[in-house]
Each structure stands twice: as structure tokens, then as C-alpha cells.
Structure 1
């Protein structure tokens, strides 16, 4: 259940999508004072001073009454008096309804109204700087004709579109207004842009926009997403088996937060990460310490960086900068990297898997064969990509039933029929994982898979493979590191169904 508040306009609150009645004006004023100091303890005297300019002795009783009513309507806030004061921690949004703190009257609220208005204005101009939309800039300049920053941005945007004369006209109009209204000349930013246009030297900073598109049918991962949003702008690491949806999750999270990073989004997949970051901001063929050069270029700026399929810690070491966010994906959890918060991708939950199945395949067809649908999800360990591919195949065959797909998967004992030939792309991640294994690891995986047991321990693994327990434990841990098996209790491991199907029935045609 989500509780949200807005101070931009009347004080408002929502529980999920339902708006909550917040009571009379002074009660809303008490709540607003708490929200304006989100996470800070306020004493009774401080709250009274914020809400009433000239409080009477009855203000103490009034405050207690309002607190009681706020606790009753908003129990999630856990508003209990602690150490003679109150603290709230809440999610604030800007729903752009009007003047901040509308209807609340006190010297404190008047000062906060000015602060919030300036904050909103800066946020709007940050957005205009990112987009450089001429029409939106013209509207903003018309509303705030004496503000120099948006006027300079409009000159940038016009010049970029080849409208040099109009850009110069904006400067002359700003100069006239500033002279007539304030008796001032344009400031250094406007003068600099004007001079650069006259000399033909105006260059626009490169703002990379490299994020891959988000999946339209992205489903689930609520727990991982919540942890990711808490972590950023720190460094987030996403680990999991090949093909488990690491890149999809990284991309989805990046799209959720992209507007927080006005200097751009960079997507890197390759060994020389520092070099690719520098190229993204216009530095070609850098020499020397590339990591140090990147930190210099990124200082004071806010980038969102996704580094996909990190192989070694040295690829991303020393590249994170304050204010920027970095999302890493790696098959192996890179514990050598300090300051990284890791989340893991595996199969979706049953509920999420069914939801994805229904997004791609007609829900009526899934509902008509619930047991068969359950078997398909089980065979692919609820992994999103196989679900997407197999349900896409059924969508392309409207006269097929899910039972027919299962029959095709079961027709032969070899893997070539376990996954239909036109759906082999679902196996590509496992083929890549197989090729990266040593002979000892591959032999152990094959023994485990063909034993047809979901769980084994170190002793059982040693017996089936003919190796010593000490040697086997090292191999099992290596396989767990790349998520082909899942560690349970000490010395005990589980084999996902989808991985078991591949290694138990793998053929040279698929692996070579």
C-alpha cells in the first residue's frame, strides 16, 4: 500500500489511488509542517511556532487534537510522540496543481512557499535544459521574461535549429527589458552566449541518450526494483544466470529514474568501460589514466550509467562519481568491488510468470488450459525470456493449444525436441554459459542433470562424478557463482528445471 503527499497546491494525500480527507485548514497546516521537515524531529514548541504566528495557550491542546486526528486518518505515518516531538518519513510528489501550500497562512509557510516555488522553477528549467524544446522555452520566457537562464537556453535552442537571427533578437529583447525594468545589463551567461553566436563558436554540450528501449511487457521484480530505487544514485549491481533478465531489469530501472540525471544516460557493453564513457561525452582517443580523466569530466555532473555484462572488477573500478548513478550487470557477483549493493535475478514468481504469459498470449487461451500453462512455466523455471518466446510462438499459431506445445517439447528424448526448433533463441544464454565452463564443471553439471534429482549435496556429487569431496565443493561453488545451481544449506545445492533440461539432454549440435 502506497502513501503519497503533495504540498504543491493544497496539502493533499493519497493511499494508492484514493485521495484521503485531511481535515480543516489548521490540521493540514500541522501535517504540512511535519512534511516540510521530512525525517526531522520537531518539538511541540517548534510545530506551534510554524503553524501559528501568535499562538495562544489553547494552541497546545489544539496541536494534540490535530495530532490525534492525523494519526487516526494516516496510521502508516506512525506519528507517536518521542522525546517530546514528532517525526514523519513520507513520499512527497509534485502534482503541479498551483501555488505551494495553498491556503496556509503563517510567516513560516510564506517563507516555505517562496522556497518551494523557487525549487519548482529550478526543476522546470533543469527539464528545459535537458529537452531544449523551443516552444516550451518560449512559453517559459514569456512567463518569466526577466530570468536570464531560460533566455540563454532559448538562444541555444534557436541557434541549434539554424535560427541565428532569432537567437540574437532574444538577446536584444532581454537587454531592453533588463534596462527598462531593473536598470541592469545582461549577466555573464547571456553575454557569453551572445558573443559565441556572433563568433560562430557556440557549441552545445553533448548529452548522451543511449538507454535501450524498455520492454513493453516488463513484468514483476518488485522487490529488486524497490531495492534499486533505494540504492541509486549509489552503485547497483544486478547478478544472475545468463538469460535471467539482468539487462532487462537494469534497463527498466534506468528508465524509471532517467529524469533524475539531467546530463544524460550512457549504456556500455564492452571491456574498456572508461574509454566508452569518455567517447559518450565527446572525448575521442583518450590517453593516460582514462578513469581519472572520466572522473574529471564527470565532476559536478549527474549521469546515469548502465554497464552491461561486467566480466572483471577492473573494468569499472574507480569510475563512480558523486551525483551520478551506476548500474552494473554481471553473471558473477563481484564482491571485490566496494560500495556496490547487489540484487539477484532468477525466475519470476508464479504470479508474475502467469502475468507475463497472459501479456503475450491471449489470457483466454491460458485460462482454458491452466494445468498445461503451469507445466510450461515449470519447464522453463519461470524465466521471463523463455516465457516470452514460447508464448509468442503460440500467438503465431492461433489454432494450437498449450498442450500441443508441450507435446512438441516432449516428442523426443533429445534436447532438440525439448525446445522447439523455432524457439532455440531461449537456449542461447545456456549455450554461452556452457562454453565458459571447464571440463570438470561441465562433467559435474551433466552428472547432476542426468541424476534427475532437484537437490544434491557434496557427497552425492562426489560419488556421481567420481571425484574427491574437497575438489567437488570447489566446482559446486564455481557453478553457484554463475547461478547454474543455487546454494541452499551448507554443502547442498538445487538445480533449476530449465538448466537441468539443457545439461541433461544437451547435444553437440547445440553446444558446438
Structure 2
């Protein structure tokens, strides 16, 4: 039996395409609680605490057993009597997580944020299309209310992340219509209001964009007693003066000359021949992000700069170099907003046009690089959190990162581990032949 459970809207349960009718507040509560942890054990005491909060422990325990039996009977009618398993101390819904729409939504959202623009659009749309109404609406309990609020907050964030992508792709006309209702429903959310302002402005509707700001300001001052944030105020001012920075960017238009900030190459770089060829091949392929890791003093930076000089002519929009100071003695690692300011200035923005906040600056950076053909060197990275906002969006962009940390959780990256040359020579002498250096998958 293939069981499908949908919680992002009115509860729907299907077994091999046939509807499974689940009635009763507690049966629904137990099933939803198990589905939110699909494939994992849920302690009986957690079920009792959430679903039978007001009943005595003895009575509730017996009722839980009855409810599970009734759910099994409902599934048994469709050949799925073992859908709910008894495990030590509790119960488990024995389905794959992708059989519950909540988990599909989470997976698609993660994949969309890590994907390239052309793939991310479809993933974002797929995630949002799973929603058919308010989540967990049939369960009237405090725990369900908390979970529903969390899911709704994630939906709004995904919708706004997708809007950022659509703005960068030039979909402002359709986006303006889609965002209008969202902004009305959530009048205190500044991010979608700013997105709507920009979409309207790019569609030639500047007066309407200014009206959106005034409505936002009235609501924030009236209900919270505060002015809109710095980013919304800057956007408002830029619309008033018709600042060209608000126009849909083309990377080649905003850069009078391609950035070329690489440090000098080593004149006679004779070591690491195999590693150089590996990196050249990766940069010529579809590998968007490449990480060189290894201990301090191993030559990671020199290798990255050398390879960048070799391939620089291939990147028509130039090469940008940033020292992230991840392991520099006496200096704190560069904060993402500081690195983003460097990147945005390299792409042609002046100081006034660079957003003050990390989220806004990262969005601007993705927008500017969406159609780019750019090589970015992120040297001496501290950790994954530092580099994630610095990944450009364009399909033609490449990122070469050096770090003592392998950055193993960086999505869709290729990894090259750099060992010491003397260790590699010993390995070769012991019979390893011409094998390439150690690589991480």
C-alpha cells in the first residue's frame, strides 16, 4: 500500500489513490502527530501529553491504544494494517517522509535554495503548490497551533525567497500581481513590501510603488510605533529620484571594466601539477563551487590564485578576490556583510547603493550575478555560514574557496583536499603510482 498524507490544507489521506476517511478529533490528532515525525518513533507519553492533555494518565493510555487500533483498522481496509507500528515506548508511522506533504515541502525548499536559478524556480513553485490552505486546521490543540505557525512562517519565507529569484529573472510584471495580495495579508512584513515596490517600479508604476511604502509606514507607525527599516527607506528614496541602480541589472552593463582583483601569481609554479589540472577541469565543467581544504601553510591560497590566473580570460565578467580572514592570526573572520560589501563594490555599486543588511545585500548580489560570467575567489574561509551568502547566482559563475575546514555541508560543492607535498611523495614512492591527490566526494 502506498500511503499519502497531506497536512498543508484540509487533511487528506490516500491509500493507493483511494481516500481513507479518518474521523474523530483524537484519531486525527494522533495521525497528524505521527505524520509530522514520519518514519520516526513518537513516545506514547508525547502523544498522551499532546492529544490527551486534560485526561487522566490511566484513562488516556487506554484511549490511545484504542485510537491506534481504529487507525489500523482504517488502513487495513486498504491493505495497510501495518502502517502504524508499535515500537518500544511508543508508535511509528511506517512510511517514507516523501509520503507526507510537510516533508516534501521542506525538501523542495532546501533544494531550491541550493540550486541554480533555472532549477530553483521550478523547485520553489513545486514547494508552494503543495499548500491547499492553512496547515493542521483540523487539530485544535496548542501543540498543533505552534506547529502550524512554524509551517506558515516557513511558507512565507519560501514565497519571498522565490520572489527574490523572480525579481532577478525579470519577472516583475507577474510578480507585482502575485505579491499584492500577500502584502495586504501581511502588512507588517517589510521584505515583501519592498519586493512589491521594486516590482512595480520596474514595471513603470512608480506612483503605486510609493503608495506601497506609505501604507507600510502608516501601519508600522500606527501599530508598532516605529518607522520602516533602513532598506525600505533607501528603496523609497531611490524610487523618488529614479536611481538607475533599481533597474533590472545586467552584469556587463554595471561594470565599466571587468573586475580584476587577483593577487600576483607565483612566477614559477612547478608543484601541484595534478591538482592544477583537476581544478582547471572542474572550472571548465558545470561545477559551480569548488572547495580546496587542508592544513595551514599547505599552499591552498597560492594554488587557487595560480589557477585563477590561468583561467581568468575564460570569465568575461572578470575575477573577484576576497580574503575572508578565516584563520588569520590577530584578525577576526570577515563578517558576511563585510564580504558582500566588497563584492558589490567590485560589481560597480557605489557606497550609497550597497544595502546595510546581510539579507538585502545578499539578495542584491544574487540579482547582479544572475546573468554573469564571473569567477569569485573566496580565500581563507572560516566556515560554511560565512560563505553561503557569497555564492553568486549566475549559471556562468564559478566560486573557488580555500579553507582549513572541509566545508563538507556546503551544498553542491566539489572538494579537493590538499595534503603536504612530502607526504604525497612518500605515498608515490610506496607504490601509489600516478594517483591523483586525495579528493573528497
In the superposition, the TM-score normalised over structure 1's length comes to 0.43
In the superposition, the TM-score normalised over structure 2's length comes to 0.49
Structure with the larger RCO, 1 or 2 (CA within 8 Å, 6+ apart): 2
